[in-house]
Every structure is written in C-alpha cells, then in structure tokens.
Amino acid sequence: MTVYIDPPRWPAHGTVFSHLVSDASLEELHGFAQELGVSVRAFDEDHYDVPAHRHADAVALGAVAVDGKQLARLLIRSGLRIPARRRPAKITAALTARWARHFPGHAELGAALLERWNEPHRTYHDTSHLLRVLEALDRLTVGRPEPELLLAAWFHDAVHEGRAGEDERASAELARCELTAAGWTPDAAERVAELVLVTLEHRPGPEDRHACLLVDADLSILGASPQEYARYSEAVRREYARVPEAEFRAARAEVMRQLLSAPALFHDPVAVDLWEHRARENVSREITELTAR
C-alpha cells in the first residue's frame, strides 16, 4: 500500500488543504492519518484534508507527493473513490426528491426522517445506506415498490444509537407514532412497524415477500465489490469505535458467522442472482480477517 498527497491548493477555513489518499485500503489510510496526528474529522469519504502546514510532515512520514491529476487517477484506480452523486449533499437532495415523489403532502415528515439519517454520529447507518436500500428495492421490484415497503425502508434505522435490538424496536415505535399522526391508518402504520422489526434478526418468513425484499435490500451491501465492502466494514467499525478492538472483532465475527449459517443470505430470487455469490465471498473474507489478528 502507498499513501499519496497532492499540493495544498484547496481553500477552506482560512487556509489551504492537501488531499491524502490510499491506493488500496481505507484502514491503512486511517492508520497513517492517526500517526500523522490528523483528526478523523478531517476524513471526507475517500480522503483526508490535510492543512498546508502538515504537508511536509506527511511526506516525511512516507506519503508520496503527486500532483492533483495523478492523485485523482490513483484514487479512481484504487476503487475507493466516492462518486459525486454519493456525497452527503447530493444524497440528501436525491432522497428529498424521492420522498416528495412517493409521499407528496408529507414534506415535514420526510425532512424529520432525513434529519435523523444525517445525525453526525452515523458513519454507516446514514443517508448513503438509506439510498442504497431504496435503490436496491427499485432493482428488486422493477421500480415499483409498495408504499408500506418504502416507508419501512425509510424508518428501519431512523433510530440508531448503536443499541442492537433496542434501536430496531424504537424505530418501529417511531413509525407507528409518526405515520398515525401524519394521517396513515393504524393498520398501515402497524404493518410498517412490523416490517421494520424484521430487520432485527434478518430472518423473514418466506411467505412475507415484502419482509424478504426489505431484508435483502438492507443486506445488499454484502454483495458489493470488495473495495466497497471494505469501506462498509470500516464504517461499521468507526460507528462502534467505543467498543474495544478484541470485543468488537469477536462480536462482529459471530454476527457474520450467523449470516453465513443460513442456506442463503438472500431470499428473493433476483437478490440471490445479484448478490449471493459475492456476498458469501465478502463475508467469509471478513471473518478470516477478524479472527486472524
């Protein structure tokens, strides 16, 4: 792995910044930045912003100085680059438009949900995850997901404090209260809450197609490219940064083993075709990495 840095030419906050990137691993990039003494708050999805006065320090520590065009090419080639449409501001605008298209007349509820998904402590269960789930549902339903299924996607991690089980139950209760208050029938609100609760264990009944679709969309990240999967697992680790390393590795490995113990990770035939093979490869590789160190 090599870490690269471009010249300090990017103005912000009264100074200029360089971009620090890796050609292979976000985990190694975070380790380099920590050794350099750059806060994780300077991380922006696929690079660190390094103030001009730390450029020489980064090079002395081992970063390779390149020009801006070279750095961009290296980042693209690495597979770690986040496209513009996946940046938080773009994602929020895209999600706002999606909500307005499906649920006109309920802008206030949509804005309140987006405020939750944009909470600063989220590094994986954020607007990027929500958009991925919604896009996965589009693929699985040929762009025609039912309203209650869509609402369940919007509410499924609306409460996220890192409390397994409690978060899902709180999200389901939020759906019951907010949807009823916004004019949905109690039956519809209860159905959305019921779907949200399925994400607690990701074990839907095979007869409940909407539950299967929601779980498959929620887990679609498992079938991503190896680079995107590595970004996902690293983001999950940062979300649980308070948990000691050994404890996190043991718990995470057990969760991954439980997923692999099922005959199939996905339920809908389309989801199986799209993601099953690569998901098993990704999860198996992560288990090996978690238990090897």
Amino acid at 28: E
How buried is 95 (Cβ within 10 angstroms: 0-12 exposed, 13-18 middle, 19+ buried)? buried
Amino acid at 141: T
Q: What's the predicted TM-score (pTM) here?
A: 0.75
What is the widest separation between alpha-carbon atoms in the chain?
A: 63
Q: How confident is the model at residue 45 (pLDDT cuts 50, 70, 90)?
A: confident
Q: State the Cα–Cα distance between residues 79 and 24, nearest whole angstrom.
A: 8
Residues with Cβ < 8 Å from 282, sequence gap 6 or more?
Answer: 222, 223, 224, 226, 229
The count of other CB atoms within 10 Å of the CB of residue 209 is: 16
Contact 14, 56 (CB under 8 A): no
- State pLDDT tens for residues 182-221: 999 999 999 999 999 999 988 899 999 999 999 999 999 9
- State pLDDT tens for residues 107-126: 999 999 999 999 988 888 99
The encoded tokens of residue 23 equal 């050609």
- Please tell me the predicted confidence (pLDDT) of residue 5: 95
Q: State the Cα–Cα distance between residues 288 and 286, nearest whole angstrom.
A: 5
Most confident of 15-19, 162-166, 238-242: 15-19
User: Has residue 88 got a pLDDT over 70?
Assistant: no
Q: What is residue 50's three-state secondary structure?
A: strand
- State pLDDT tens for residues 215-257: 999 999 999 988 889 889 988 998 888 899 999 999 999 999 9
How buried is 34 (Cβ within 10 angstroms: 0-12 exposed, 13-18 middle, 19+ buried)? exposed
- Please tell me the predicted confidence (pLDDT) of residue 76: 84
- Please tell me the predicted confidence (pLDDT) of residue 196: 98
Looking at the chain, which runs of residues are DSSP E strands?
3-5, 10-12, 15-22, 48-51, 64-65
- Please tell me the predicted confidence (pLDDT) of residue 160: 93
